[in-house]
């Protein structure tokens, strides 16, 4: 494509939105729209299709798309099916024998073949890149008995009389002697293999004591600490703590899928009268049965590829477009606006809107002509649980990191942001960390109405999936207008609260940015010293 073509495309795309005059004014020499040499009108972001995607992803049927839930998996299958309809190549992780990435041929691998003895895969499955995740679960309420100096065993109720601090998956150890330590020196004196310890120091300090290398061979299996008060609610069988990446975690002895490995120390805080007796050194025995297991969690990123049509070295470069498809699931009545009638935190703006825009970008680019660079579309899961999906992506990238030019992440584009309204009354999407790289200023120079993040103190740059890409050096920003949505993380974040004309305008901005980068015309760079990821 000639150099000016991107401007032509932008002018065509923006003309009906009222931004074309802005574009012509800011890009000297940009040809006016409608020149005879201009390609057939490029595909444009369609508000009706955005609405269709959001209505499904944010429907009550998907129950708020919680990581690891059936609703999240249904969302993944839907997006995979859409990518397949658009003709994108699957870049998931389930099928072995995939052709080398960045290769010349765009051929699809055979489905269901060479899959290592798995069940035959559905057509959409090959877009799924499964994550290695685990969730701890109580198979029954944990039980705890403690013995006081007078020889009495006291049976305590989990959640009411004591709390279990999340840490690994301990095994039941039977009755253990308890020794008391008040200082780090005490601890080093009394610690012995297979002996529980009662500690009365503040948790942060005593945790550090327990990590002392001298204790490596005689770390207490159980540590009892005095607590303030219980939650008042008895623990029942069910999930415990958050879903985490599978594999050993430092200092815990490991969270292994399906196993019941013993961690370094399980920490139990006692409440009420026994907390006082513990602090007084009166607790001499303990018998804790955790009833806790670690189980694998089934969830996946969804990844599709639009292979670049440029020369091989250009087509071997990729732009990653991302949006997170998970949300926070069902809410307890009384929380987040949940009622008996509706407990679904639908996540329409957060982030069905970003997914819908990403899908539209894929559709518009796939409608061709294909860009020079490749474009990877990834619908990540687990953003709400700590960017698990985007971290998994960069750990096992579907496209080589060193050939990934940029990540454009899309978050909460469904409501206009009053702080970035221009004189025309139109709210502009902002780019998180605008000042950190050359991307934002380059997009503005192209005439795209991209704003600076108006709330830098809220650290949005580090609060979405772009940060995982930035952490491995890829120029990565989030495009958003999600600063003030009153329905954020509420049951009310429903499809009918969004402004689809606004979302389409944001989508056009994202499309313009993507076309500029994918054409090879724009290669953003970090400014010196970036990316700084600390606060």
Q: Cβ contacts of residue 406 below 8 Å, gap of 6+?
A: 319, 320, 439, 474, 475, 476, 517, 523, 524
Question: What's the min distance (Å) between Cβ of 350 and Zn ion?
Answer: 4
Q: Given the complex with Zn ion, which of 255 and 453 has the nearer CB atom?
A: 453
Question: What's the min distance (Å) between Cβ of 79 and Zn ion?
Answer: 16
Query: How far is the C-alpha of 324 from the C-alpha of 59, rounded, in Å?
Result: 16
Name the one range near Zn ion by CB under 5 A: 48-56, 343-351, 425-433, 497-505: 343-351
Question: What's the min distance (Å) between Cβ of 328 and Zn ion?
Answer: 10
Query: How far is the C-alpha of 190 from the C-alpha of 53, rounded, in Å?
Result: 62
CA 54 vs. chain centroid, Å, equals 18
**Per-residue binding letters, 392-431, with Zn ion (x by CB under 5 A):** -------------------x--------------------
Question: What's the min distance (Å) between Cβ of 305 and Zn ion?
Answer: 24
Name the one range near Zn ion by CB under 5 A: 51-59, 147-155, 291-299, 346-354: 346-354
Query: How far is the C-alpha of 316 from the C-alpha of 324, rounded, in Å?
Result: 25
| Residues forming beta bridges with residue 199, ordered by sequence position | 181
CA-closest candidate to residue 108, choices 98, 121, 100, 116: 98
The tokens for 170 are: 């301990």
Q: Given the complex with Zn ion, which of 200 and 390 has the nearer CB atom?
A: 390
Q: Given the complex with Zn ion, which of 170 and 414 has the nearer CB atom?
A: 414
Question: What's the min distance (Å) between Cβ of 351 and Zn ion?
Answer: 4
Q: Is 521 in the site for Zn ion (CB under 5 A)?
A: no
**Per-residue binding letters, 106-145, with Zn ion (x by CB under 5 A):** ----------------------------------------
> What number of other Cβ atoms are within 10 A of residue 458's Cβ?
12
Question: What's the min distance (Å) between Cβ of 313 and Zn ion?
Answer: 35
Name the one range near Zn ion by CB under 5 A: 97-105, 289-297, 310-318, 349-357: 349-357
First-to-final CA distance of the chain: 42
Q: Given the complex with Zn ion, which of 63 and 350 has the nearer CB atom?
A: 350
Q: Cβ contacts of residue 194 below 8 Å, gap of 6+?
A: 173, 176, 221
Cα 273-278-279 angle, rounded to 5 deg: 100
Name the one range near Zn ion by CB under 5 A: 142-150, 342-350, 357-365, 428-436: 342-350
On whether the CB atoms of residues 523 and 517 are closer than 8 A, the answer is yes
Q: Given the complex with Zn ion, which of 57 and 305 has the nearer CB atom?
A: 57
Question: What's the min distance (Å) between Cβ of 324 and Zn ion?
Answer: 6
Question: What's the min distance (Å) between Cβ of 383 and Zn ion?
Answer: 6
Q: Which of 63, 124, 326, 350 binds Zn ion (CB under 5 A)?
A: 350
Question: What's the min distance (Å) between Cβ of 506 and Zn ion?
Answer: 15
Q: Given the complex with Zn ion, which of 131 and 235 has the nearer CB atom?
A: 131
Q: Given the complex with Zn ion, which of 286 and 302 has the nearer CB atom?
A: 302
Question: What's the min distance (Å) between Cβ of 467 and Zn ion?
Answer: 12
Query: How far is the C-alpha of 480 from the C-alpha of 349, rounded, in Å?
Result: 10
Name the one range near Zn ion by CB under 5 A: 244-252, 276-284, 351-359, 370-378: 351-359
Q: Given the complex with Zn ion, which of 59 and 291 has the nearer CB atom?
A: 59
Q: Is 299 in the site for Zn ion (CB under 5 A)?
A: no
With 0-12 / 13-18 / 19 or more C-beta atoms within 10 angstroms meaning exposed / middle / buried, residue 215 is middle
| Residues forming beta bridges with residue 172, ordered by sequence position | none
Size of the site for Zn ion (CB under 5 A): 3
Contacts 24+ apart (CB under 8 A), 454-461: 454/417, 454/419, 454/420, 454/430, 454/483, 455/419, 455/483, 458/483, 459/535, 460/432, 461/432, 461/433, 461/436
Q: Given the complex with Zn ion, which of 7 and 327 has the nearer CB atom?
A: 327
CA-closest candidate to residue 301, choices 128, 126, 466, 465: 128
DSSP β-ladder status, 162-165 and 266-270? antiparallel
Question: What's the min distance (Å) between Cβ of 331 and Zn ion?
Answer: 16
CA-closest candidate to residue 504, choices 359, 288, 297: 359
Query: How far is the C-alpha of 499 from the C-alpha of 497, rounded, in Å?
Result: 7
Omega of the bond prior to 298 within 30 degrees of 0, cis?
no
Q: Given the complex with Zn ion, which of 162 and 460 has the nearer CB atom?
A: 460
Question: What's the min distance (Å) between Cβ of 347 and Zn ion?
Answer: 8
Name the one range near Zn ion by CB under 5 A: 133-141, 345-353, 512-520, 525-533: 345-353
DSSP β-ladder status, 266-270 and 222-226? parallel
Q: Cβ contacts of residue 498 below 8 Å, gap of 6+?
A: 51, 54, 348, 349, 353, 414, 415
**Per-residue binding letters, 172-211, with Zn ion (x by CB under 5 A):** ----------------------------------------
Q: Under DSSP, is residue 407 helix (H, G, I), strand (E, B) or coil? A: strand
Backbone dihedral region for residue 226 (phi beyond 0: left; psi -120 to 50: alpha; all else: beta): beta
**Per-residue binding letters, 471-490, with Zn ion (x by CB under 5 A):** --------------------
Q: Given the complex with Zn ion, which of 125 and 350 has the nearer CB atom?
A: 350
Q: Cβ contacts of residue 158 below 8 Å, gap of 6+?
A: 141, 142, 143, 144, 164, 234, 235
Q: Given the complex with Zn ion, which of 164 and 356 has the nearer CB atom?
A: 356
Question: What's the min distance (Å) between Cβ of 82 and Zn ion?
Answer: 20
Q: Is 351 in the site for Zn ion (CB under 5 A)?
A: yes
Q: Given the complex with Zn ion, which of 12 and 380 has the nearer CB atom?
A: 380
User: Which chain residues interact with Zn ion by CB under 5 A?
Assistant: 350-351, 411
């Amino acid at each position: 494509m000639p150099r000016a073509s991107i401007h032509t495309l932008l002018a065509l795309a923006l003309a009906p939105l009222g931004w074309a005059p802005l574009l012509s004014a800011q890009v000297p020499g940009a040809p006016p729209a409608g020149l005879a040499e201009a390609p057939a009108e490029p595909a444009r972001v369609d508000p009706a299709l955005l609405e269709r995607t959001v209505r499904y992803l944010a429907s009550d049927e998907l129950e708020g798309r919680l990581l690891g839930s059936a609703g999240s998996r249904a969302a993944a299958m839907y997006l995979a099916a859409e990518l397949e309809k658009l003709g994108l190549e699957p870049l998931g992780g389930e099928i072995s024998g995939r052709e080398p990435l960045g290769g010349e041929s765009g051929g699809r691998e055979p489905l269901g073949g060479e899959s290592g003895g798995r069940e035959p895969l559905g057509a959409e499955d090959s877009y799924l890149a499964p994550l290695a995740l685990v969730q701890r679960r109580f198979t029954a309420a944990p039980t705890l008995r403690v013995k006081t100096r007078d020889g009495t065993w006291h049976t305590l109720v989990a959640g009411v009389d004591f709390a279990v601090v999340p840490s690994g998956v301990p095994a039941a150890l039977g009755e253990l002697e308890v020794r008391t330590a008040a200082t780090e020196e005490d601890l080093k004196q009394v610690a012995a293999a297979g002996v529980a310890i009662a500690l009365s120091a503040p948790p942060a300090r005593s945790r550090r004591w327990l990590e002392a290398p001298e204790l490596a061979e005689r770390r207490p299996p159980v540590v009892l600490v005095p607590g303030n008060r219980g939650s008042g609610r008895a623990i029942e069988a069910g999930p415990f703590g958050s879903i985490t990446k599978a594999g050993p975690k430092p200092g815990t002895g490991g969270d292994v899928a399906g196993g019941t490995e013993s961690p370094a120390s399980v920490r139990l805080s006692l409440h009420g009268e026994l907390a006082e007796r513990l602090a007084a050194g009166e607790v001499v025995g303990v018998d804790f049965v955790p009833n806790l297991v670690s189980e694998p969690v089934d969830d996946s990123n969804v990844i599709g590829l639009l292979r670049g049509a440029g020369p091989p070295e250009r087509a071997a470069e990729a732009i990653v477009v991302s949006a997170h498809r998970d949300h926070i699931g069902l809410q307890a009545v009384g929380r987040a606006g949940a009622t008996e009638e509706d407990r679904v935190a639908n996540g329409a703006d957060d982030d069905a809107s970003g997914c819908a825009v990403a899908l539209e970008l894929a559709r518009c680019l796939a409608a061709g002509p294909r860009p020079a660079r490749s474009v990877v579309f990834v619908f990540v899961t687990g953003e709400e649980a700590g960017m698990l999906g985007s971290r998994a992506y960069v750990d096992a990238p579907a496209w080589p990191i060193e050939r990934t030019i940029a990540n454009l992440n899309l978050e909460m584009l469904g409501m206009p942001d009053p702080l970035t309204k221009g004189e025309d009354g139109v709210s502009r999407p902002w780019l998180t960390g605008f000042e950190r790289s050359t991307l934002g200023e380059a997009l503005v120079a192209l005439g795209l109405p991209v704003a600076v993040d108006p709330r830098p103190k809220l650290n949005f740059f580090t609060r979405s999936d772009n940060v995982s890409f930035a952490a491995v050096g890829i120029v990565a920003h989030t495009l958003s207008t999600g600063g003030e949505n009153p329905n954020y993380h509420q049951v009310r974040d429903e499809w009918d609260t969004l402004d689809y004309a606004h979302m389409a305008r944001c989508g056009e901005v994202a499309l313009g940015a993507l076309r500029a980068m994918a054409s090879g015309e724009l290669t953003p760079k970090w400014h010196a010293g970036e990316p700084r990821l600390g606060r």
